[in-house]
Amino acid sequence: MKLTTLLTSALYLVPVVLAQQYNITYNAFYNDGDSSLSFTACSRLIPTDPVLASFHDFPYIGGTSAITSENTTACGTCWQLDYNGNSIYITAVDTAEAGFFNLTHYAFEKLTDGQTGDYVSAIATEVDSSHCGFCPGVYHSSSEYEQVF
């Protein structure tokens, strides 16, 4: 009985990130690697060279509605997007409209296998940051970036 109670209690301590359906679109702003990070909600992610191309996985970056305000802990998180058997990983660097991910046009084409149109509906799951080129096992918030880099 005590073991069951202990295991049940421990489950509440484990963070669970579930896959969710999002609308995926693209935004031309993210296409230019020289665009300043100061124009995004996550302006403090890379204090030494704040341009979009500074990210390990550029052009696999974009905005997500998981980022709700400036420089939140969702900044720099890594997301797996799945659409019709294709998967890509995106680093979150900006906010987006509720229920949306905004990507570079390149990332959108890779995800959709070149499909045309304004948006698609895909599954998004937050994953370990190692999938986006960061240190394995580290989820990056703005304060963690300052410590790591």
pLDDT higher at 138 or 114 = 114
Which of 16-30, 50-64, 94-108, 132-146 is predicted most confidently?
94-108
- Residue 57 DSSP code: T
Q: What is the DSSP string of 97-137?
A: STTEEEE-HHHHHHHHTT--SSEEEEEEEEE-GGGGTS-TT
- What total of structural domains would you count in the chain? 1
Any domain includes 11: no
Query: Residue 17 — very low, low, confident or very high, per pLDDT cuts 50/70/90?
Result: low
90 assigned to some structural domain: yes
- Domain region containing 38: 18-143
Rounded Cα gap, residues 62 and 146, in angstroms:
20
Any idea which residue has 């937050």 for tokens? 126
Check pLDDT > 70 for residue 13: no
List the single range of 18-22, 72-76, 131-135, 136-140 with lowest mean pLDDT: 136-140
**What kind and span of H or E run contains 22?**
strand 20-26
- The answer to whether residue 8 is domain-embedded is no
Does a structural domain hold residue 39? yes
Residue 105 domain flag:
yes
pLDDT at 141: 41
Tell me which of 14 and 22 has the higher pLDDT. Answer: 22
Residue 114 lies in a domain: yes
Mean pLDDT of 45-55: 81
CATH number for the domain that contains residue 133? 2.40.40.10
How do residues 52-106 score in pLDDT, each as one tens digit? 998 888 999 999 999 999 988 999 999 999 999 999 999 999 999 999 999 999 9
Domain assignment present for residue 31? The answer is yes
Identify whether 132 is part of a domain. Answer: yes
CA 85/CA 49 separation, integer angstroms: 35
